[in-house]
Structure 1
């Protein structure tokens, strides 16, 4: 029992656990729509597109969080504008902005040799360095994400499954899509400080993708994703403490591991269900049907 609970008696591990739980809840609300809407590429692009803002904020001595918000907001706005072009697909627009923002960030970083350590924290996070102030920011971001997800649930549902029906219901797909982009952007920006931009994508995708294999409703997917994310946080911190591995990467690897195990279990369950289901027995044709068949086969004079 000491091996399971002992590490969490340390104050910074407790803060890391609470930070990971808040990130898991935030990513569960936003990541569910990312998986259902097929917006994984956008989530990855936003997580990397924050680099210019974070780099400039660090070099100028400003707030890294504010820099990330501005860069991610510019990324989301650019995707919205370019996606309106009839000649460019949404993936093309995201890819162009993704590469452009990442290149600008690398150029900014290359002008400062002392930025290597901060860049590592940006990419991979430092969950063990979470402060009480970070927890307050994460709690505030969770409250905003929850409010947006609750207010836009009906619109997001119509947008994810049948965008054309949104017009029939009197909803605005464009505004719903913009709100969904803002929701994902806020979740990524709020979480990157804890698990890093390269790893926040895993927390945003892996738990909801795992829950989709078993849940049948959107609230069920969100609840399952939240539980899986919290379980991955606890398990990852525990393994990191005993194995001496990077905490943020271990948490994300655990979340992905949950998905792989769940996908295998779902596949095995499907095979067993198909094998156990009885084969349909062909029913013999009725006498009337046989008579009709003989009449149809008899040539008319």
Structure 2
């Protein structure tokens, strides 16, 4: 079993595993609500929306996490402003800003002279380069995410059921929507170092989709999604080590594969249950 243990005996792989597990927990919290609300497009848009901030921070020599946070927050505020003032639908607002921010990021990247390596790290991440400081940032982000989800749980549930009911009950649907966008923004920005802006949606959505096949309660879905995400991180690191593939992309692919396997197993279970439940017709 040395093929299984050898990669994880190295310190930088251990840091990558711990960082990936923290990312999986954070993404499970935000991703569950994303799936429940049918807002996967928001996660993808925010992941791409932080590209210009990361690119500018890299060019100017500033902390990339700061650039990612500023850009993602600007994206979130822009979506809200377009909804309120331009009276555009939610998906239209996201689509406009998504394309605009992505175009701006590509312009910055193309304008910079020697930016190929940095662009690859931005788009696909570098989980094997996670350091102690990154682990601390991720741990703080997880704590913030858990606290925010706990405090806003009732409002988020009411918002998921019916926004009008939430308003009548005084549960603050606008506040709940802000918390949800904040959770997704936090997960996307914090996870960017691990899997990059293009692949973060995989860990945000896929484990929650896989978990949703087997659970219906929000806390249970979050816990199962976190476990599936953590297993995907470990499997992705193991495969990337032996197959010499990009770690971040392999982790995202593992998460997508987990969602596919979960769906297939659920379909097989449903078929077996229907066959068992159907009456057997005996010949006369």
Q: State the TM bucket, normalised to the shorter chain.
A: over 0.9
Question: Which residue matches 1:155?
Answer: 155
Partner Cα separation in structure 1 for residue 111 and residue 85 of structure 2: 35
Q: Which moved more, 1:77-86 or 1:253-262?
A: 77-86
Partner Cα separation in structure 2 for residue 86 and residue 166 of structure 1: 25
**Is 2:189 aligned against 1:189?**
yes
Question: Which residue matches 1:112?
Answer: 112
Deviations 1:246-279 (A, max 9, x none): 1111111111111111111111111222222145
In the TM superposition, what is the alpha-carbon distance from 1:85 to its structure 2 partner? 5.0
Cα distance change on mapping 1:86 and 1:69 into 2, 3 Å:
closer
Question: Which residue matches 2:282?
Answer: none
Partner Cα separation in structure 2 for residue 89 and residue 30 of structure 1: 22
**Bigger relative CO (Cα 8 Å, ≥ 6 apart):** 2
In the TM superposition, what is the alpha-carbon distance from 1:170 to its structure 2 partner? 1.4
Question: Which residue matches 2:71?
Answer: 71
Q: Secondary structure at the match of 2:115?
A: helix
Question: Which residue matches 1:24?
Answer: 24
Question: What are the residue-to-residue correspondences of 1:1-301 with 2, within 5 Å?
Answer: 1-84=1-84, 87-278=87-278
Deviations 1:186-210 (A, max 9, x none): 1100000111011110000000000
Partner Cα separation in structure 2 for residue 123 and residue 32 of structure 1: 24
Partner Cα separation in structure 2 for residue 106 and residue 238 of structure 1: 32
Q: Secondary structure at the match of 2:214?
A: coil
In the TM superposition, what is the alpha-carbon distance from 1:84 to its structure 2 partner? 2.5
Partner Cα separation in structure 2 for residue 84 and residue 163 of structure 1: 16
Deviations 1:275-294 (A, max 9, x none): 22145xxxxxxxxxxxxxxx
Q: Which moved more, 1:166-175 or 1:5-14?
A: 166-175
In the TM superposition, what is the alpha-carbon distance from 1:115 to its structure 2 partner? 1.2
In the TM superposition, what is the alpha-carbon distance from 1:216 to its structure 2 partner? 1.9
In the TM superposition, what is the alpha-carbon distance from 1:86 to its structure 2 partner? 7.4
Partner Cα separation in structure 1 for residue 137 and residue 182 of structure 2: 17
Q: Which moved more, 1:1-10 or 1:206-215?
A: 1-10
- Bigger Rg, which one: 1
Query: Structure 2-normalised TM-score?
Result: 0.96
Which blocks of at least 5 consecutive residues in structure 1 are unaligned?
280-301
Question: Which residue matches 1:295?
Answer: none
Partner Cα separation in structure 2 for residue 138 and residue 194 of structure 1: 10
Equivalent residues, number: 281
Q: Secondary structure at the match of 2:84?
A: coil
Query: Structure 1-normalised TM-score?
Result: 0.91
